[in-house]
Structure formats: structure tokens, C-alpha cells
Amino acid sequence: MIVLGIESSCDETACAVVNDKREILSSVVWSQYDEHRRFGGVVPEIAARAHLEKCDLLVREAMDKAGKSFDQLDAVAVAAGPGLIGGVLVGVMTAKAIALCHGLPFVAVNHLEGHALTVRLSSDVQFPYLLLLTSGGHCQALIVKGVGQYEKLGGTIDDSAGEAFDKVAKMLDIGYPGGPNLEKRAKLGDPKKYDFPVPMKGRKGCDFSFSGLKTAVRVAIERQKTLTEQDKNDMCASFQRAVVAEMQDRLKHAISVFKERYPNAKDMVVAGGVAANGAVRQMIQNLADKSDLIFSAPPVGLCTDNGVMIAWAGLERFRLGFRDGFDFRARPRWPLDTSADTRK
């Protein structure tokens, strides 16, 4: 079984071909960093136009690299939301056109489900598993019970962790994209230099908050007349320490709910762009070890947005019989757990 996946929901245009032997036959990602750098963040209209210019070229490249023709595919999958709607539309229309021309089944994939399931391509993770999904748009603790079956234990009540990384990086003027640059700087800084707050520490439940932490960094920057490079590194390290402590505190609660509900389950996973962060991965590895759970995460290169995650989630859906009609509409919002509230 061979599936083509297309991703265009934020600032990466990406295409990949995967098969049901868990092989990545090709993966191409085109990041729009240069388009957005001077604005310090993603500009939706610019993103949509850039996707439009690149999408069909990347499909061609992914198919050529995989050495496959369209009629060798079993299905075409696309991230049909949630995301910046102009970009999502480009991917959805491209995927529908390919499916229609070549008589292939069309599979609409929730971008978040792409993040949630990718780990099953690289590791032997079984349902149900506990998942921290942490990206630019979301921060949620979920129980993944099966393909299409998610229970949200908590979400952020304000910013996502990725947003906080990006905004703090912007305040410190350490370059775009923020998260990876901040992590590099944090390695050179003192994590105890600034005593930034851990917003939800000690509170009940599994919700997250990062906005107060971001404000604390802004206040610390304003208090200092000049910021040396070392000050910046120390702020990065202290900020990252607080983010990790926030996640750790919240996940302890999520683990106890998960273990109570599923005493025989054994897997704990982190996914999404922020899962590329070494300190976040290490903290979750430690938590899992202490809780007798097996830690798994997608390889770092498959944490930030890519086509493989959409092709793989599409394949997982397709082999269970999920198909979508050509009347499927791109969705700017699309929660994984439709019974939960709308927190990110």
C-alpha cells in the first residue's frame, strides 16, 4: 500500500510518499522562512501564495524521488485542517485534483492527527498511548485510543509552547524561526540566572499556560538597560527551564489519569514541532522512566511539519477503510477530540 501525503497548513509546503511497510519512499519539505523572516512571524497571505507556487512542483519531486507514478498509488492524503485556511485550501485542491485525475481515493487528514500518529511509523507504539502534542499552534495532553479516537485531558488556556518560544525569541531578537535558535542559545546559558514563573505549577488538572511566563521574560528584558549576548543566553536557558517545568508538572497529572484509566498501557509519546527540543524530550524520557512507561518520539526531523506525517496518518486511516468525498471542505479549526472544549 502506497500513499502520497501533502502538507500546507502553515509555513511548510511538504510532500511525501510512504508505504505500509513503514518505509519513507520520499520526503520533500520547503520551508518559507525567507518569505516570513522580515515580519518575524508567518503572514497568512504570503504563506498561501508561496504554497500555490510550490505545491505542484513538490508533488512532482516527491513522486520522482519515490520512483513511482500516480497510478502506482493507493490513495492521496492531505492535511485538510486545522491551519491557515489559504494554505490548507491549496493542499486540499491539489490533492483532490490528483485523486480525481487518476481515479484515486482521497483521504482528508487532521494535521494534529498527523503529528499524533507519526511515532507509529518509527517505533512500535501501541494504542492506547499518552501523548503530549506540542507545536506552534497547540499544546495538549491526549490519550490516543486509536486512529481517529482521541481523548483530551488538558490543553493550553492561552498560548501554545511553540508560540511562547517564538515570541520570546522575537523579544530577544535572536532570529527566526524562534524555537530552534532559542534552544541553541539555552545550551550556552545559565538556567538558574532568572527565576521565571512556572504558571500552572501545583494546580489541579492537566491544563497548560505559557503567557505569564512570556510576560515575565518581557519584564526582565525591560528591567535591564542593555542585554549582552550572555544575558540573552541566560534568559533563553531560564525560559526553557520554566517551559520544561510547566510541562513536567502538568504531565505528572496526565500520567496518573492515564495509568488509572489504562493500567496495562505502556507508551508515552511527545510529538509536534516543540518535540524537536532536546530538553523537552529528556524531561519526558525521565518522567516515563519513573512511571514505568516506554518513551517514544518521532525522529527530530519528523517533529516539525512535514509530508511524511500526513502520508502516514492518511495510510493509517485508509487501511481502516476511511475515505473522504470530494465535497470535503478545508477546515480552519478541527479539534482532535470533538467532545472537548476548544482550548488549543
Which is nearest to 177 in space by CA: 165, 192, 159, 191? 165
User: Does 316 help bind Zn ion (rule: CB under 5 A)?
Assistant: no
Select from 157, 165, 265 the least CA-distant residue to 205.
157
Query: Are 271 and 119 within 8 A, CB to CB?
Result: yes
Answer yes or no: are the C-beta atoms of 7 and 307 closer than 8 Å: yes
Take residue 218 and report the three cell numbers written for it.
Answer: 518581557
Q: State which residue, 10 or 245, has the beta carbon closest to Zn ion.
A: 10
Q: How far is the CB of 276 from ligand KG4 (least distance, A)?
A: 4
298 binds, among Zn ion, ligand KG4, none (CB under 5 to 8 A by kind): none
Q: Which of residues 291-320 bind ligand KG4 (CB under 6 A)?
A: 304-305
Nearer to Zn ion, 207 or 305 (CB): 305
Nearest alpha-carbon partner for 140 in 193, 209, 49: 209
Place of cell 519515490: 66
Nearest CA to 206 out of 147, 248, 263, 267 is that of 248
CB 77 to Zn ion: min, Å: 15
Q: Which of residues 289-308 bind Zn ion (CB under 5 A)?
A: 305
Q: Confirm or reject binding of residue 180 to ligand KG4 (CB under 6 A).
A: yes
| CA-derived radius of gyration, the chain | 20
Q: Binding segment for ligand KG4 among 35-43, 71-79, 117-125, 175-183 (CB under 6 A)?
A: 175-183
Map residues 247-276 to x or -, x wherever contact with ligand KG4 holds by CB under 6 A: -------------------------xxx-x
User: Per CB under 6 A, does 165 bind ligand KG4?
Assistant: yes
Three-state helix/strand/coil letters over 3-45 = EEEEECCCCEEEEEEEECCCCEEEEEEEECHHHHHHHCCCCHH
One character per residue 107-136, x = contact with Zn ion (rule: CB under 5 A): ----------------------------x-
Binding site for Zn ion (CB under 5 A): 135, 305
Q: Write out the residues near ligand KG4 by the rule CB under 6 A.
A: 10, 135-137, 162, 165-166, 177-180, 183, 272-274, 276-277, 304-305
